[in-house]
Structure formats: structure tokens, C-alpha cells
Amino acid sequence: MADLAATASSVYRQALSVIESVEPRIAQATRQELADQRASLKLIASENYASLPVLMTMGTWLSDKYAEGTVGKRFYAGCRNIDTVEAVAAEHARELFGAEYAYAQPHSGIDANLVAYWAILAKNIESPTLERLGAKTVNDLSEADWEELRAEFGRQRVMGMSLDAGGHLTHGFRHNISGKMFQQHSYGTDPETGLIDYDALRATAREFKPLILVAGYSAYPRRVNFAKMREIADEVGATLFVDMAHFAGLVAGKVFTGEENPVGYADIVATTTHKSLRGPRGGLLLSTEEYAPFIDRGCPMVLGGPLGHVMAAKAVALAEARTPAFATYAQAVADNAQTLAEALAARGVTLVTGGTDNHIVLLDVSGFGVTGRQAETALLEAGIVTNRNSVPRDPNGAWYTSGVRIGTPALTSRGFGADEFVQVAGLIADVLAAAEPATTKAGTPSKANVLLPAGIAERTRAAAAELLDANPLYPGLEL
């Protein structure tokens, strides 16, 4: 590792020198970002630290190729090396997750979800319509046929977890394209426990009869039973689509197994490759073989040209995720989240669902007299990076919120264990207890601005610095 860090230091110093010769502000911002990340407690559940090999893989001339199409079937010449890159990334994904098919092209999680939606529409709506109209492809359709096909597409229904219950924007939220593509209906959580009520979900699905049932979350601190979701989907004739962008690392590391592993139950599974997978920013799709030809149309159906350098970095990250060390890491992520939740609860912090059994801890900060936005700001001032988040039936809405979402993947990557996370919980609780809403010009409590007593931010940063110095980020990397 020392040799790797020394080599990386030399490479990055030279690379930044080259960048600086063209645009010094970008070189400085890059150096400062590393300094900022090293100096803060990163608790955003959707962020992590990619390895140096993954980061270096993205900075190559693989970026310079156009490669629309799929492996061996490109619309541009000279793509043999991109074919290799994409094939290796897909191979690692299939082996890691035990999937029949993998598609490494999506640029992001949202892109992956859009490809999944359109693949489902193509398989379930377009193909039967073409057969009925006696057409082999969409190119054979008349304008009248096209109108009929568009009408069929526009009448379809999707059902996913509501945003305030922990779902994602792409699960049918009205202001997202998914909520405009489909007739949508959301399912929530039990008002008392905050947990998914599968019986209520089943009743809603029976009544709504969606074409697509979406499972997965971005702010639900519990595991999902995908066997039950499969039963519900089958009962109403829906395609089961799972968005595991947040917990893919726990699936890869075999923390989630059996009925808690969506692969094998879902028709299509989408994920990002960063977050708990600890790879580059990007998306990935897994599916059964029957959906493969429809997903392969992702470019140009939804996507632009594949990003060869990012697919290469995905391949490297997925190779890392197939090692025993990654499985150890994934288990530590879950164990640390449990420790963090218990320590916060012991300090009187209210937790949505009362705790966690994944990597997410969702705090309801309303008991401290502040909004989620104010809590986020106060914590950031004290060197603790989080993000505000809605809680179920949130009275403050999606902008100010009543909650803060935190997660353990990033600090676990730095080597934090149970003792450190107990200390982190104490720092969070101290800041929240000290925070007070600022007063608006009209003399009323603000929902946005917050006040901290003198010295609390400085003391918190000093305590955090001791933890961070003992668990350095990219140790040995010197710029």
C-alpha cells in the first residue's frame, strides 16, 4: 500500500501540474476538495470514497471514444477496446451478483432507472403491439400505428414507495420524469412503526394494478423482503423492478442474502456503482435474459454514447467488490450503522423506525426545535457532512424537512469502527442539542437559518479532527 500511495502521489502531482498549466482554478479546486474531504466527517449515506485504482482508471483516453451500440455491434468503427472494457465490467457484475445479464452503460442511477422503465414498456407494450399490427420493428409502423403505440405507452401505471416514506424521485414522484411517463400511485409505511406494511401494499396493488411495481429506497433504514414483493407483483401481473442503488454494496458483500437479496426475485435490478459499492459515479442494470434485448437498446433509446473510461472504472470497482476484503467491509458498514443508531438513541435522538438494519440512519430532528435544513447547516458548520431528508408524513415538506439522513459507508471506508461511531453519535447529539432557529426580519423563527452557541462548532471540529487523523483518507497520498 505504501508503494501504491507513493506512486499515486507522483502521478497526481504531475497530473495537477498539467491541469494547472491550462486552468489553475480547477487544479486548486481539486486539491481543496481532497483537503475538505479529509477534514470532515462524511456521513452522507449516498457518498463514499473510491479506491485510487478506480479513480485513476477514469482519467484516461478511453474517454475519447464514441461507442453507441453494444459489444460487437457498434455504430462507430474502432471500438474493440471499448468492447473489452464493457464486456469485462458486465462479466464482473454478473459474477458478483449472480445475475443472468448485466448492462454497464448507464451514466447514472436515474439513467439506469429510465432504461429499465423503457425496457419494460418495450417488452410488455411495444412487442405485443407490433405483433398485433403485423410489424417486425417500429420502423414498419405507420403514423396511425405510432399514435396507437404512444397511447398504449401513456396509459401504463407504476407503483413505488413515496418520497417521504423513503422512496426515490424516480419511483414515480410527480416532478420527476417517472411521474410524468406513467400514471403513478405511491405506497407508504405504517404510521406507527414506519415499516413497510406488505398487506396494505398488496391491497393497494390489487386496486391500482400497476404494470411496474418498484421496490427499493433511498432513505428507508430497514431491509425489504423481496420474496413478498415478488408475490405481490405476480398476483397483480406486474413487472418487479428493484432500485438497489443504496444497498448494492450490502448485496455484493453478502450482508443481504436470501429474501433480502433482490437478484433472483426481480425482473430488472438497477443500481449506482458508487454509494455502498465504492466505485465510480455511474449506473448498472441486472436482469433476467428475457429483458436483455430490450435493455440493450438503452443507447440510443435513452442514453447517449457510453462513457468508456467510466465503464472501465466500474470494471475495476466490481473486481474489488469480488474480494473477501470487500465482504468484510460490507459487514462493517451494517454493524457500524447499528452502533451509530443505538448510540444516537441513547442520547435521546429520535430515529425513524426506531433504528436501522442497513447502512442508513434517519433522524427526526423536530424534537430539537429545528428543521432538517437547520440541522444540516449546523452539523456542516461543525464539520459533519449530512443531508436533510423528509420523514414520513413530514409537516415541513421536501425542502425544509424534519429529518436528517446519515449513513456509514464512507467513514467505514476510512477505517472507523464501533468506538469511533459512538463518538460520532455524541458529536451529532451535542450539535443538535445546541442548535437554535434564527429569527427572521419579521421576528418569527426561521425554517432555514440556525444559530450555534460560541465555541460548539470549533470544539466539534477539534474532536472530529482527532478521529479523522487516526483514520486518514488515502493514507500516504501527498499532493
228 included as an active-site residue: no
Kindly report, residue by residue over 197-211, the tens digit of the pLDDT.
999 999 999 999 999
Position 134 scores a pLDDT of: 86
Q: Which three cell numbers stand for residue 477?
A: 497520498
Opening angle at CA 79, ends 74 and 83, nearest 5: 85
pLDDT score of 479 more than 90: no
pLDDT score of 179 more than 80: no
pLDDT score of 34 more than 80: yes
CA distance 352 to 292: 38
Position 266 scores a pLDDT of: 98
> Which strand (E) or helix (H) includes residue 228?
helix 226-236
User: Whole-number mean pLDDT of the chain?
Assistant: 94
Position 130 scores a pLDDT of: 87
Kindly report, residue by residue over 405-422, the tens digit of the pLDDT.
999 999 999 999 999 999
Percent of the chain with pLDDT over 90: 84
Rounded to 5 degrees, φ, ψ at 454 are: -55, 135
66 included as an active-site residue: yes
Say if residue 371 is exposed, middle or buried (CB neighbours under 10 Å; 0-12, 13-18, 19+): buried
- Among the listed residues 65, 223, 275, 405, the single catalytic one is 275
From residue 214, alpha-carbon distances to 153, 232, 267 in Å are 18, 11, 11
Position 378 scores a pLDDT of: 97
281 included as an active-site residue: yes
- Among the listed residues 170, 272, 401, 460, the single catalytic one is 272
Range in 150-159, 192-201, 245-254, 356-365 the model is least confident about:
150-159
pLDDT score of 2 more than 70: no
Percent of the chain with pLDDT over 70: 100
Cβ(218)–Cβ(358) under 8 Å?
Answer: no
272 included as an active-site residue: yes
CA distance 375 to 23: 36
- Among the listed residues 7, 20, 30, 66, the single catalytic one is 66
Cβ(336)–Cβ(418) under 8 Å?
Answer: yes
- Among the listed residues 281, 297, 347, 459, the single catalytic one is 281
Position 307 scores a pLDDT of: 96
Residue corresponding to grid cell 398488496: 202
Q: Which three cell numbers stand for residue 271?
A: 443500481
Cβ(394)–Cβ(401) under 8 Å?
Answer: yes
CA distance 296 to 293: 5
Can you tell me whether residue 427 is helix, strand or coil? helix
Cis peptide before 300 (omega within 30 of 0): yes
Rounded to 5 degrees, φ, ψ at 27 are: -60, -40
- Among the listed residues 68, 83, 148, 430, the single catalytic one is 68
The CA dihedral of 354, 356, 362, 365, to the nearest 10 degrees, is 30
Cβ(420)–Cβ(467) under 8 Å?
Answer: yes
CB atoms within 10 A of CB 235: 12
Domain 324-470 has CATH 3.30.360.10: no
pLDDT score of 135 more than 90: no
Q: Where are the domains of the chain?
A: 65-321, 324-470
Q: pLDDT grade, residue 213 (50/70/90)?
A: very high
Range in 88-92, 236-240, 246-250, 446-450 the model is least confident about:
446-450
CA 223 to chain centre: 15
- Among the listed residues 111, 126, 164, 243, the single catalytic one is 243
Position 1 scores a pLDDT of: 62
User: What is the pTM for the complete model shown?
Assistant: 0.94
Q: Which CATH class is domain 65-321?
A: alpha beta
Under DSSP, the state recorded for 64 is: G
143 included as an active-site residue: no
Rounded to 5 degrees, φ, ψ at 325 are: -60, -35
> For 72-99, what is the mean pLDDT?
97
